[in-house]
Structure 1
Amino acid sequence: MEGTRQRIDKWLFFARVVKSRTLAARLAVAGRVRINRDKVSQASDLIKPGDVLTITLDRRILVYKVVGAGVRRGPAEEARKLYEDLSPPAPAKAAPADALVPLRDAGSGRPTKRERRDTDRLRDRQ
Structure 2
Amino acid sequence: MAEKERLRIDKYLWAIRIFKTRTLATDACKAGRVKLNGQNVKPSYEVKVGEVYHVSKGIERKQVKVTGLLYNRADAKTVVGYYEDITPEQETYGFKSMFHAPALKRDRGTGRPTKKDRREIDDLLNDDEDANQG
TM-score by length of 1: 0.69
Quote the residue 2:30 is aligned against: 29
Higher CA-based Rg: 1
SS at match of 1:61: strand
Matched residue count = 103
In structure 2, do the counterparts of structure 1 residues 38 and 2 end up closer, same or farther at CA, with 3 Å as the change threshold? Answer: farther
Deviations 1:52-108 (A, max 9, x none): 000011121000111111121010011111111101222273989xx796xxxxxxx
CA contact (8 A) 1:4 1:48 kept: no
Query: Unaligned regions of 5+ residues in structure 1, if any?
Result: 102-108, 112-126
Q: CA deviation at 1:36?
A: 2.9
Moved over 2 A (4+): 1-5, 91-96
In structure 2, do the counterparts of structure 1 residues 34 and 100 end up closer, same or farther at CA, with 3 Å as the change threshold? Answer: closer
Query: Unaligned regions of 5+ residues in structure 2, if any?
Result: 112-134
Query: Residue 49 in 1 paired to residue 53 in 2?
Result: no
CA contact (8 A) 1:4 1:68 kept: no
Question: Where in structure 2 are the equivalents of 1:7-86 lying within 5 Å?
Answer: 7-40=8-41, 42-86=42-86
**Whose helix fraction is larger, Structure 1's or Structure 2's?**
2
One-letter amino acid of the structure 2 residue matched with residue 57 of structure 1 = K
